């Protein structure tokens, strides 16, 4: 299957309105070398690296593209993982380069990068910065980002500015005849209908020529057409002429070009006001031409005298003929055009929706990736139709059908995220549950809230701040500083709070004001305490910066001795990127890293652990899970992991085997998901997103 498709590749490089007959410096295509890692043997790698800000020498982008290809083909695992690691490598090199140059007062560089990988019958595209891809397959044009009119997703952060790159990724099913464009942001200026018509040209040469004629000022892009191996490719000549780079004159050239070649900007499909203005303007132009022709006709049959000492005031008949009748016709046309515009466009949208849905149904369901791509395209078209005419029964049915099929393939259970409670100006970072007492840590205000739940867990009967667990509170001579974390002591049932100064406050949940406080030893040695766990009465404090978990042994009801190191010896793990940890009832320490990888330890030594059973592309290390909760009760023990990027909660067994994943019908509710805890007796998940706590019923509703 690896060589069932081959790629024809063309490039377009326009600077200052002139076509340069060389490939863009950061454009590269490579097939797998003989030394490729396992899983990369049949891949074809495409990449386009573009300047962002200061422009480096040409060799800079060429070498960076070569480094990216070498990094990708050296990585095993999934395509998504290899691409993400490749972006991280480029970003790390640029970021370290910029740090050194900033300190020395030298020039710094950032780049926008878009890469694609042909893997069997899939095309995986990844991007960072203001770059775009457009895929034409089976008559559909799919852009990435989806909506090129929105600036936020289009103008994302380029590489070299942040320690960790912001990489967006998408996967498509492709076949012979599919065409892919990797481009800078100038592709967004082409209206969607025009872009589709260009990409549907007969051959790749005509596509490049159509793009050249449409993008008239500046562009760097790569065009890929997938063909069967037996396809005889024509010899293409790059249109245009060579020219020196004129980057310093781009602004002046753009103004001059626009002055010399004024053009109407086509309105966007869903902007009714722009459509109306555009249509009236076009109609006025046509009417003006009509009046001009009519005037010439009357001049021919009823010529005016050469000298007109007394102009003939137009007779009533002439006025009626020349003015009123055309005005009536124009009015009728305008009214007819305005009244039928939305209906005509909606009907066209319905036709496209029917076509895309029929195509999706025709794909073999065993081809998971292609099926998902087709139904995603159907959903996009249905959403566009819904904007034109909300709540149309046919469109709504198509939306439900497409989403249900996508969810079934992705093993997603879609549920209603019901608001339980919210807190003003809060940012909830931690949830702890014991019985019907739910506690939330507000990381923005360093404050702990107590929520009393109803017996079924679906209502908040009462919510109050815990007065003694807040920044600046004083108790028994101790002033509370920045709160690190909260945890339950299963032995005593107390709720414990730890601040960055080492103050440990323990309170009874039933009588929350009945507390005791102490300062644990050696807190000054901590570098970055982030998480507190209590197991078998012992305190465990994760200090990721110092690479250690500090363990405090109890003495009665207090902790009076110095801490001991959980990890000892020379082979200590790197904990710098750990975001959360917990300890199971049987004493196994589980540590979650910021890249979604989880490791387990017993008595300080690493034990085997790996997630399994996830669909490709939804593995924790791909979606980058940022937090988790361990349900250690007798009711279906396991993990609940959260991914803010995927807006999803994943459920696994304690051994890491996938069970289910949950998403909200309204995904915007989980946009800021930050914490999770399970109430297994009621089959409820509580998730924090921003300042709100939602409850999600895991059972079918």
> Is residue 7 within 8 Å of residue 224, measured between CB atoms?
yes
End-to-end CA distance of the chain: 42
Domains of the chain by start residue, with CATH: 6-260 (3.60.40.10), 272-293+318-410 (no CATH), 414-697 (2.130.10.10)
Spatial strand order in the sheet of 605-607: 578-583, 589-593, 598-602, 605-607
pLDDT of residue 461: 95
Residue 159's nearest CA partner among 54, 85, 88 is: 88
pLDDT in tens, 630-675: 998 877 789 999 999 889 999 999 999 999 999 999 989 999 999 9
pLDDT of residue 311: 41
What is the rounded average pLDDT of the residues 261-290? 45
Place of tokens 């999600």: 696
Q: Model confidence at 297, in pLDDT bands (50, 70, 90)?
A: low
Residues counted in the chain: 701
Helix (H) or strand (E) holding 229: none
Distance separating alpha carbons of residues 485 and 270, to the nearest angstrom: 48
Centroid of chain to Cα 432: 29
> What residues are paired with 114 via a beta bridge?
48, 127
More confident residue, 151 or 226: 226
- Examine the pLDDT at 310 and tell me if it is beyond 70: no
pLDDT of residue 701: 54
More confident residue, 314 or 582: 582
pLDDT of residue 244: 32
Distance separating alpha carbons of residues 467 and 476, to the nearest angstrom: 14
- Examine the pLDDT at 79 and tell me if it is beyond 80: yes
- CA angle centred on 170, ends 164 and 175, rounded to 5°: 145
What is the rounded average pLDDT of the residues 510-534? 90
Place of tokens 């004493």: 587
Distance separating alpha carbons of residues 45 and 182, to the nearest angstrom: 12
pLDDT of residue 166: 87
Spatial strand order in the sheet of 483-488: 483-488, 495-499, 503-507, 515-519
- DSSP H helical ranges for 105-170: 151-154
pLDDT > 90 in the chain, percent? 44
pLDDT of residue 233: 52
Torsions phi, psi of 68, nearest 5?
Answer: -60, -45
> Is residue 657 within 8 Å of residue 695, measured between CB atoms?
no
pLDDT of residue 331: 56
pLDDT > 70 in the chain, percent? 83
Contacts of 251 (CB under 8 A, 6+ apart): none
pLDDT in tens, 191-225: 888 898 899 888 888 899 889 888 877 899 999 99
pLDDT of residue 19: 84
Radius of gyration of the chain (CA): 32
pLDDT of residue 294: 55
What rounded mean pLDDT belongs to the chain?
A: 82
More confident residue, 160 or 105: 160
pLDDT of residue 262: 39
pLDDT of residue 183: 93
- Examine the pLDDT at 324 and tell me if it is beyond 70: no
DSSP string of 34-70, one letter each residue: TTPPTT-TT-EEEEEEEEESBPPPHHHHHHHHHHHHH
CB atoms within 10 A of CB 556: 6
What is the rounded average pLDDT of the residues 272-288? 48
pLDDT of residue 148: 85
- Examine the pLDDT at 397 and tell me if it is beyond 50: yes
- Examine the pLDDT at 381 and tell me if it is beyond 60: yes
pLDDT of residue 639: 96
Residue 625's nearest CA partner among 658, 656, 579, 665 is: 579
> Is residue 269 within 8 Å of residue 387, measured between CB atoms?
no
Predicted TM-score (pTM) of the model is 0.56
pLDDT of residue 332: 52
pLDDT of residue 120: 84
Q: How far is CA 562 from CA 39, 268, 516, in A?
A: 50, 67, 19
Residue 245's nearest CA partner among 29, 61, 64, 10 is: 61
> Is residue 90 within 8 Å of residue 67, measured between CB atoms?
yes
CB atoms within 10 A of CB 75: 20
Q: Model confidence at 278, in pLDDT bands (50, 70, 90)?
A: very low
Residue 224's nearest CA partner among 107, 116, 317 is: 116
């Amino acid at each position: 299957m690896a060589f069932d498709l081959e790629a024809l590749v063309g490039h377009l490089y326009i600077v200052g309105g002139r076509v340069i007959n060389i490939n863009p410096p950061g454009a590269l295509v490579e097939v797998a070398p003989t030394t490729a890692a396992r899983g990369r043997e049949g891949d074809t790698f495409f990449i386009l690296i573009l300047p962002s800000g200061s422009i480096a020498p040409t060799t800079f982008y060429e070498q960076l593209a070569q480094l990216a290809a070498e990094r990708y083909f050296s990585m095993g695992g999934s395509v998504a993982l290899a691409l993400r690691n490749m972006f991280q490598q480029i970003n790390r090199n640029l970021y370290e380069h910029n740090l050194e140059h900033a300190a020395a007062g030298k020039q710094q560089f950032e780049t926008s990068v878009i890469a694609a990988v042909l893997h069997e019958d899939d095309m995986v595209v990844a991007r960072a910065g203001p770059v775009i891809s457009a895929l034409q397959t089976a008559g559909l044009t799919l852009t990435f980002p989806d909506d090129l009119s929105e600036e936020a997703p289009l103008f994302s952060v380029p590489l070299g500015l942040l320690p960790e790159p912001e990489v967006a990724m998408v996967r498509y099913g492709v076949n012979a005849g599919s065409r892919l464009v990797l481009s800078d942001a100038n592709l967004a200026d082409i209206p969607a209908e025009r872009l589709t018509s260009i990409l549907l040209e007969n051959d790749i040469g005509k596509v490049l020529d159509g793009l050249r004629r449409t993008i008239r000022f500046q562009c760097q892009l790569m065009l890929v057409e997938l063909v069967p191996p037996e396809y005889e490719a024509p010899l293409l000549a790059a249109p245009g002429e060579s020219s020196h780079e004129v980057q310093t004159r781009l602004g002046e050239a753009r103004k001059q070009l626009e002055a010399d070649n004024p053009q109407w900007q086509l309105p966007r499909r869903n902007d009714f006001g722009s459509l109306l203005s555009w249509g009236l303007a076009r109609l006025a132009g046509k009417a003006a031409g009509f009046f001009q022709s009519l005037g010439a006709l009357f001049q021919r049959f009823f010529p005016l005298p050469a000298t007109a000492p007394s102009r003939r005031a137009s007779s009533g008949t002439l006025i009626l003929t020349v003015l009123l009748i055309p005005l009536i016709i124009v009015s009728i046309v305008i009214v007819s055009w305005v009244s039928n515009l939305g209906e005509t466009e909606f009907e066209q949208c319905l036709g496209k929706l029917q076509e895309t849905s029929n195509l999706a149904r025709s794909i073999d369901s065993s081809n998971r990736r292609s099926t998902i791509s087709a139904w995603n395209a159907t959903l996009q078209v249905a959403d566009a139709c819904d904007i034109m005419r909300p709540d149309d029964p046919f469109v709504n049915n198509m939306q439900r059908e497409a989403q249900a099929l996508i969810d079934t393939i992705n093993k997603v259970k879609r549920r209603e995220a019901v608001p339980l409670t919210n807190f003003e100006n809060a940012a909830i970072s931690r949830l702890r549950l014991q019985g019907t007492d739910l506690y939330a840590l507000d990381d923005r205000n360093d404050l702990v809230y107590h929520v009393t739940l109803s017996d079924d867990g679906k209502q908040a009967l009462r919510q109050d701040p815990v007065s003694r667990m807040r920044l600046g509170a004083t108790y028994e001579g101790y002033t509370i500083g920045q709160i690190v974390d909260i945890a339950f002591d299963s032995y005593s049932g107390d709720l414990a709070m730890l601040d960055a100064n080492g103050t440990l406050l323990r309170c009874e949940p039933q009588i929350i004001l009945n507390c005791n406080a102490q300062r644990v030893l050696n807190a000054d040695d901590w570098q970055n305490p982030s998480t507190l766990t209590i197991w078998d009465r012992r305190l465990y404090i994760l200090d990721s910066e110092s690479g250690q978990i500090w363990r405090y042994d109890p003495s009665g009801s207090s902790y009076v001795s110095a801490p001991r190191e959980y990890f000892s010896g020379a082979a200590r793990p790197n904990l710098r990127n750990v975001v959360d940890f917990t300890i199971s009832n049987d004493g196994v320490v589980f540590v979650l890293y910021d890249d979604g990888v989880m490791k387990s330890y017993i008595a300080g030594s690493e034990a085997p652990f790996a997630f399994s059973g996830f669909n490709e592309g939804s593995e924790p290390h791909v979606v980058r899970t940022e937090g988790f909760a361990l349900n250690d009760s007798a009711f279906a023990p396991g993990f609940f992991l959260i991914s803010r990027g995927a807006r999803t909660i994943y459920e696994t067994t304690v051994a890491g085997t996938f069970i289910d994943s949950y998403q909200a019908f309204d995904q915007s509710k989980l946009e800021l998901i930050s914490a999770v805890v399970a109430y297994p007796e009621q089959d409820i998940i509580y998730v924090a997103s921003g300042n709100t706590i939602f409850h999600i019923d895991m059972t079918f509703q």
